[in-house]
Chains A and B, each alone.
Chain A
Amino acid sequence: MKKIEAIIQPHKLDEVKEALKGIGVDGMTITEVRGHGRQKGHKEVYRGMEYEVDLLPKVKVELVISDARLDEITNVLAGAARTGKIGDGKIFVFDVFEAMRIRNGETGEAAL
């Protein structure tokens, strides 16, 4: 099993959800986060006080999938989240040791 953690532009969330649903992935967890990579922030001015805002709002999508579908899902996700500009985000992939469905105790890929 693999865990995908994708940091994407907030306005791309709906497209990503639709694309994943289109290939049968319907379980995911969404968090509103702030961060930045190479993208520069912006400047805000309040009564002459300047603030550099470099941590920008992003959305983190987390999903755990079977090893076999890793390439397919990361490609679909990246395709849906891409605008081609700096700030589109990143995808990280982790190994997952175990999973359990709390309701009935199923484990492994059956729990996904």
Chain B
Amino acid sequence: MSGNSRRGVKGPLLGVLGGLALSCSAVAQTTPAVEAKLAALDAAAKSAQSAGDNAWMLTSAALVLMMTGPGLALFYGGLVRRKNVLSTMMHSFIMMALITVIWATYGYSLAFGEGTPFLGGLQYLFLNGVGSAPNPDYGATVPHQTYMIYQLMFAVITPALISGAYAERIKFSAMALFTILWATLVYFPMAHMVWGKGGLLNSSLGGKIPTFDFAGGTVVHITSGVSALVCALYLGKRIGYPREPMKPHSLVLSVVGACLLWVGWFGFNAGSAVAASGLATSAFVATHFGAAAATLGWMLAEWCKHGRPSMLGAISGAVAGLVAITPASGFVKPFPALLIGFAAGVVCFLMVTVVKSRFGYDDTLDAFGVHGAGGTLGALLTGVFATNAVNDSFKDSAGKLLPLGLVDGNPGQIINQGAGVAIAWVLAIVGTLIILKVVDLAIGLRASESGEREGLDLSMHGEEGYSLES
């Protein structure tokens, strides 16, 4: 055959003919040798996909860790006063150690084990059975351990986000105890409900109220943001707030931190596809677009109200947009992502300026105004803009694509999203209140008055962020 194809144009045609001939002969005489070869090819293709997916998921896990340290540590660290920079960075950094140990011991099992609709079981205690074999429910092409370590990074950043509300006045020991209890009683149940097999809100693994939350709008941002508000109200204002000036001590650090958050968020959202797939690309694009539009939304709102566009406003807007696009990222097209982002920029700006000053609570670094409000807005708008043109994993028994959000003609999804939001709010409020009360009674929450005035860096940690003498 190859002797006939002297001219290049004939090549493809002859190749197709040759392929047909080959498959005909394969059907005609299925020898064990051919079968073995096909099986080997199949295995090689699966292995290549698995290698690609695993590479992306491990990269994503590292990106999400980078969001906590150094991302959030720098973002929050720059926003506090100079005397509290280390304690604030410590609030983020210590989560990377503390939550990891809890996760390995029982956290992963409570979040992702099979149990009740509200909490996972104990079969993965001490990561028993979580090895290199994939768990088809969570990620058929990557090792179960990859999925476990990826999800750990979400559990790490979520309590770190709350620290924005109690910064500059909480006792370190109380913060640590609060975090352990909060992860156990609020985060693990919520993660199980939304992402765990059989969880109440799980849209793909048998939930009773299917809620779309691609990368953690309810699990991460609503729980942390609403809990932050409860913390701010329970702990009370910082001494001197709002009479004494409490300017950010280094917006330079905050800008660097916000940029690292933006980059890390690609792992957070695009990684939530649990594969290096087209869906991951779509989530990547939506994430970036959401952040960009929110930056402009916040900046324009601020420009109108205060007469000048600020650097702090621009980075706050970016984070608000990333928060709002998180639940929607694997469900919406690029243009709705711009809309969601822009809306989040404006709404969160109003939350931290108008609403906060109206009610007078001292949410030090606006964890509620950005994560609580942005997360809620994003979760609800996901019900509006989710479409099966982006996410084709929901089909009926005949294999036909199901409508997802309002734009697909399924307005009922907005109600489901509302239910998910309500459950996240109630769990965060009730859980956080109980935990704060317990920790307060057990060891006390706030630093002493003199310790707070001196700064938590010295009173809690015995060191200073900036030593001018050395």
**Across the interface, do A48 and B354 meet the contact criterion of CB distance under 8 Å?**
yes
5 CB contacts below 8 A, A to B, read A45-B308, A46-B310, A47-B313, A47-B352, A51-B247
User: Which 5 A-B pairs have CB atoms at the shortest separation, nearest pair first?
Assistant: A48-B353, A47-B352, A45-B306, A51-B245, A46-B312
Q: Is B316 an interface residue (CB 8 A)?
A: yes
**Across the interface, do A47 and B366 meet the contact criterion of CB distance under 8 Å?**
yes
Interface hits, A16-74 → B, CB 8 Å: 44-49, 51
Please indicate the chain B residues that have their CB under 8 angstroms from the CB of A45 in the complex: 306, 308, 310
Please indicate the chain B residues that have their CB under 8 angstroms from the CB of A46 in the complex: 247-248, 310, 312
4 further interface pairs, Cβ-Cβ under 8 Å (given A45-B308, A48-B357): A46-B248, A47-B313, A48-B352, A48-B354
Please indicate the chain A residues that have their CB under 8 angstroms from the CB of B366 in the complex: 47
- Option from A44, A47, A51 in Cβ contact (under 8 Å) with B353: A47
B residues in contact (CB < 8 Å) with A: 242, 245-248, 305-306, 308, 310, 312-313, 316, 352-354, 356-357, 366
With both beta carbons as reference points, the residue of chain B lying nearest to A45 in the complex is identified as B306
Secondary structure of the B side of the interface?
helix
Please indicate the chain A residues that have their CB under 8 angstroms from the CB of B308 in the complex: 45
Please indicate the chain B residues that have their CB under 8 angstroms from the CB of A51 in the complex: 245, 247
With both beta carbons as reference points, the residue of chain A lying nearest to B248 in the complex is identified as A46
Most chain B CB atoms below 10 A, which of A44, A49, A51? A49
How many residues on the A side are at the interface (Cβ–Cβ under 8 A)? 7
Please indicate the chain B residues that have their CB under 8 angstroms from the CB of A49 in the complex: 242, 246, 357
Please indicate the chain A residues that have their CB under 8 angstroms from the CB of B356 in the complex: 48
CA distance A51 to B249 in the complex (A): 13
* Nearest Cβ on chain B to A50's Cβ, whole angstroms: 8
CA distance A14 to B305 in the complex (A): 39
With both beta carbons as reference points, the residue of chain B lying nearest to A43 in the complex is identified as B306
Contact count A vs B, C-beta below 8 Å:
26
Please indicate the chain A residues that have their CB under 8 angstroms from the CB of B306 in the complex: 45, 48
**Across the interface, do B316 and A47 meet the contact criterion of CB distance under 8 Å?**
yes
Please indicate the chain A residues that have their CB under 8 angstroms from the CB of B352 in the complex: 47-48
With both beta carbons as reference points, the residue of chain A lying nearest to B251 in the complex is identified as A46
CA distance A47 to B306 in the complex (A): 10
Please indicate the chain B residues that have their CB under 8 angstroms from the CB of A47 in the complex: 312-313, 316, 352-353, 366
**Across the interface, do A44 and B247 meet the contact criterion of CB distance under 8 Å?**
yes
With both beta carbons as reference points, the residue of chain B lying nearest to A47 in the complex is identified as B352
With both beta carbons as reference points, the residue of chain A lying nearest to B357 in the complex is identified as A48
* Nearest Cβ on chain A to B78's Cβ, whole angstroms: 11
CA distance A54 to B245 in the complex (A): 12
With both beta carbons as reference points, the residue of chain A lying nearest to B352 in the complex is identified as A47
* Nearest Cβ on chain B to A53's Cβ, whole angstroms: 8
CA distance A47 to B247 in the complex (A): 10
* Nearest Cβ on chain B to A32's Cβ, whole angstroms: 12
CA distance A47 to B316 in the complex (A): 9
* Nearest Cβ on chain B to A77's Cβ, whole angstroms: 29
Please indicate the chain A residues that have their CB under 8 angstroms from the CB of B316 in the complex: 47
With both beta carbons as reference points, the residue of chain B lying nearest to A52 in the complex is identified as B245
Please indicate the chain A residues that have their CB under 8 angstroms from the CB of B310 in the complex: 45-46
CA distance A45 to B306 in the complex (A): 8
Most chain B CB atoms below 10 A, which of A47, A48, A49? A47
Please indicate the chain A residues that have their CB under 8 angstroms from the CB of B353 in the complex: 47-48
Please indicate the chain A residues that have their CB under 8 angstroms from the CB of B354 in the complex: 48
CA distance A48 to B302 in the complex (A): 8
* Nearest Cβ on chain A to B297's Cβ, whole angstroms: 15
Please indicate the chain B residues that have their CB under 8 angstroms from the CB of A48 in the complex: 305-306, 352-354, 356-357
CA distance A48 to B306 in the complex (A): 8
CA distance A31 to B366 in the complex (A): 37
With both beta carbons as reference points, the residue of chain A lying nearest to B316 in the complex is identified as A47
* Nearest Cβ on chain A to B316's Cβ, whole angstroms: 7
CA distance A47 to B368 in the complex (A): 13
CA distance A111 to B390 in the complex (A): 83
With both beta carbons as reference points, the residue of chain B lying nearest to A49 in the complex is identified as B242
* Nearest Cβ on chain A to B84's Cβ, whole angstroms: 15
Please indicate the chain A residues that have their CB under 8 angstroms from the CB of B247 in the complex: 44, 46, 51
